[in-house]
Structure 1
Amino acid sequence: MLQGSRCRLCDSIPRVWLLLASGILKGYALEKKVVKSKAGEKVGLPCCHEIPSSEGLHNYRVYWQKNTTEVVLAYAEGNVIREHERYKNRTEMNEKNLTLWISPVEILDNGPYQCVVQHLRFSQNSVVLCDETVTLFVTADFSKPNITANVSSTSCESTEMIVRCSSHGGFPKPQISGALNNVSVAWNTTSVSKSSLNLYNITGKLRLNVTKDVSFSCSVEYNGLAKSSSLLLKKTSNCVVTTEPSSYNVITASSIIIIIFLLAITLAARYLRRHVCSYCCKPQDSVEEGVKECVKPPTSPKVPSETSSV
C-alpha cells in the first residue's frame, strides 16, 4: 500500500521537479570530470551510464542539462522531447553511451553539465540510474602579442621609450608579463576588456630608460597556455652634444678683437702721418731735444724779368 502510494506520488510530480530534485539529492557534489576544448572544435561530454546491448534508448529518459536548470537536450522513449534554442543544430547524443556532442563549441558553452539517466519500467515509473556532472572548459587562443616602442626622449646616456604590448580574441581572462633580457619587469598599466562574444582583449604599457640595446619580451598567459613575442629595443646612437661657450673664452675672444682693432688704428695713423709729411713737411732740429717741427721750404722771390738793350 505504501509502495503504491509512493508511485502515485511520483507520477504526480512534474518532470522538471524530478530533475531539480535529483540535483538537490546530489547535494552539489564535487565535480569529478573536466573536459577541455577550444572554441570552434567538436567536443564530447561523457555520460555516467551506458545502455546495455540488450536494451534500446526507448526504455530510458536521458536529460542533458546545464547548470542543473537549463535543458540542453532531452530524450524520452527514444525521441527528442526538448532541445535548447541556442544548442539547436549543434548537438547530438550517442544512443548507446549517451555522450553529448557539441559542434562547434562556443565560449558561452563553458560551464557544468549534468547527465541524468532514468530507466522506464513497464508501469511507466522511472528509476534514476545516475546523475553526474561534467564540466566543459572552453578556451580561445589569443593573438600573438604585438609589441610597439615609441621614443619619447633621448640623450647620449639613455633613450626613454614607451613600450606597449597587446593581444586580443582569447578566453579565459588572461595575465600579461614582460621581461628585459629575461629579467621580469612590472607594467605601469594594464587593461583588460571583454568583447560581445565574451572574448578578452589585453594591453600592457611600460616606460623604460634604455642605456644599451636590450631584448624585450611580452607573454600573455591563459588557462596554462601562453602566447609570446619579443622585440629588440635599440638605444638611439645619433645623439647631439651641445656645449655652451665659457665666459673665459668669450673674454679672450673679445680682448683679441679689441687689440687687433687698436693695432690696426695705430698702424693706419702712422702710415697716414708719414705719407703726408713726406710731401709737405721737412723735418728740422728744434731748440729742444727730440722735438721736430715741420717748416715749409723757402720760396724764392719772383724776380721780374728785365730786358736790356745794348
Structure 2
Amino acid sequence: MEVCIFFLQSMILLPGIAANVHQVKSFLNHTAYLSCYFANSQKTDIRDLRVFWQKGAVEVVHEVYYGQEIQENLSPKYVNRTKMDMDRWTLQLLNVGIVDEGQYTCIIQHREKGLTKVIHTSECSLHIIANYSQPEIAQLHTGELKPNEYLNLSCSSRGGYPEPRQMIWVISRENKTYRLIRHMDVSQDAVTKLYNVTSKLNITVPTNTITNISCLLHLGEHLGSLVSVPLGIGTLSSLLLNKPI
C-alpha cells in the first residue's frame, strides 16, 4: 500500500474545496470531535473513497482506506487514539492532551476508473481547555495587624490552560466597588504544560468600615471568569484605589 502524505502548503484548492479553518475546543483528557464538513452530495460509496486526517504537513492521524480503517501509516502517538464516524464524517480524537493542539486537515480522495483525485479538504484548529482551580486569597503575614498597617494579600489559581488574560482585585466598601489590576505572575509546568497564576495586593488595614475583597481570574474570550470566595476585613480607612466603577 502506498504512503500518501500531502504537503498542504503547495496544494491547489479545487472548486468546492473549503479553505476556511473551523475552530474546535475540547477539554483536557476528553474526546475531541473534528468534522470533515463533507456533505457527500453525490452519495459516493465509502469503498470508493480514501479519507485521512493529518496534523501539520506530515503527521497522519487517521486513515480510512477505501472503506477500511488502517493504522500502518499513522504517527505513533495517534495509534489506538482515533475513531471515525463515517455517518457524520467526524473524527474522534481520544484522551486529548495539550500537545494535541494545532491544525488538522481532513483530505478525501475519490477513486474512479483507476484514477484518484482529491475531492474535498477541510481544516480544523484544535484548542485544549483545562479548568483552573477556584482563585484563593491568602494573607501573607503573621501576627496581629493594627489599623493603618499594611496588609499583604495574594490570590492564586492552579492547573489551567490556556494562559489566562489577567487577574483583577475587586474591593467593595460603603456601597461602592473598586477594581484593581495588579501584575500577575505566571508559571507553566514543564511536563503537564498547565499554568499556575498568582497576583499580589498591598493595602492598609481598615479602621472604620467593613470591606470585602475578591479576586477575579479572566480566562479569555468565550471562556468566562472565575471568582474567589470574598475575604471580609473588619474595616477600611485609607486604601489607595482607582476611582469607583
Pairwise TM-score range, normalised by the shorter structure = 0.7 to 0.9
Structure 1: how far apart are the matches of 2:44 and 2:19?
Answer: 31
1:25 aligns with 2:24: no
User: Which residue is 1:37 aligned to?
Assistant: 26
Question: 5+ residue gaps in structure 2?
Answer: 237-245
Bigger mean CA offset, 99-108 vs 73-82:
73-82
* Contact 1:51–1:97 (Cα < 8 Å) also in 2: no
Q: Can you list the C-alpha shifts for 1:220-278, whole angstroms capped at 9, x where unaligned?
A: 12233211112112359xxxxxxxxxxxxxxxxxxxxxxxxxxxxxxxxxxxxxxxxxx
- Check whether the contact 2:109–2:116 (CA below 8 A) recurs between aligned residues: yes
Equivalent residue, structure 2, for 1:226: 225
Partner Cα distance (2:34, 2:168) in 1 = 34
Asked if 2 retains the 8 angstrom alpha-carbon contact of 1:35 and 1:137, the reply is: yes
1:217 aligns with 2:211: no
More helix by share: 1
Q: Which residue of 2 aligns with 1:166?
A: 156
Task: State the partner residue of 2:93.
Answer: 102
SS at match of 2:89: coil
Gaps of 5+ in 1: 1-12, 237-310
Whether 2:43 is the aligned partner of 1:46: answer no
**Residue of structure 1 aligned with 2:187, choices 174, 190, 193:** 193
Identical columns (%): 26
Paired letter, 2:211: V
Counterpart of 1:194, as a letter, is Q
Larger Rg: 1
How many pairs are equivalent?
A: 218
Deviation at 1:208, TM superposition (A): 0.9
What is the distance in 2 between the residues matched to 1:23 and 1:147?
53
Higher strand share: 2
Q: What secondary structure does 1:65 align onto?
A: strand
Q: Which moved more, 1:68-77 or 1:199-208?
A: 68-77
2:79 is aligned with what amino acid? K
Q: Are the aligned partners of 2:59 and 2:74 in contact in 1 as well (CA < 8 Å)?
A: no
Change (3 A) 1:149 1:22: closer
Higher alpha-carbon deviation: 81-90 or 45-54:
45-54
Are the counterparts in 2 of residues 75 and 82 from structure 1 also a CA contact under 8 Å? no
Structure 2 counterpart SS, 1:126: strand
Q: State the structure with bigger RCO (CA 8 A, min sep 6), 1 or 2.
A: 2
Structure 1 residue 69 displacement after superposition: 2.7
